[in-house]
Structure 1
């Protein structure tokens, strides 16, 4: 493998209604494994899981599942490794990906669910085509080193 994840181009979970503990658990159990199926076994065995402070992400049944699937290797509210909610300094998805994705998806008014899905697909294809994942990884590693050098204290001024 060349270091890039090969995604199924037609894969998309069917999300309806509001996100809650049961629907998020369903995603973790049924959809996430399909997303990760192309990762090498070694990467899967060493993978850590990170949640943010979304209430569905720390529902009791979700935490129990994560404790079973990622024992001592998940980060999140009420998890074995606590992570401050909405902490963008070490979360590449928060400090870049979601904002950039939303800017592209909502650049024009959307009137249908199919239009929204099409915009999301086009935006993610654009991001993946520009190899932003590699840039995000480099930025994340730079932020981790700055955090370590600052002894876990505030470090944005060191970037």
Structure 2
């Protein structure tokens, strides 16, 4: 995402200096949720699982989210990521 806490010069310089495979902010995809597997696929699964019941406290909600994350299958993640190319091609085809 393009959050200032991720794109500030100080953070970008730190990451560039400390991460071998760092991609600077200018190489990141647009903020379109249609192009991010986390946005178009994963968050909805986590939310639907974690919000099945009410939670008495933050710890309970956090545990439900972690459980949902841990239950995501490798096949589901691969399928979500595989759909990105089709989505990017659709954006390009529509001049968007």
Distance 2:90 2:27 in 1: 20
Q: Bigger relative contact order, structure 1 or 2, given CA contacts below 8 A and separation 6+?
A: 2
* Partner in structure 1 of residue 9 of structure 2: 60
The TM-score with structure 2 as length reference comes to 0.72
TM-aligned CA deviation for residue 80 of structure 1: 2.7
The TM-score with structure 1 as length reference comes to 0.48
Alignment length (residue pairs)? 95
Distance 1:147 1:120 in 2: 31
1:25-81 Cα deviation digits (max 9, x unpaired): xxxxxxxxxxxxxxxxxxxxxxxxxxx02232123322112333367x626xxx232
* Partner in structure 2 of residue 127 of structure 1: 72
| Structure with greater proportional helix content | 2
* Partner in structure 2 of residue 31 of structure 1: none
> RMSD value over aligned CA atoms?
2.7
Does the alignment pair 1:84 with 2:33? no
* Partner in structure 2 of residue 114 of structure 1: 59
Gaps of 5+ in 2: none
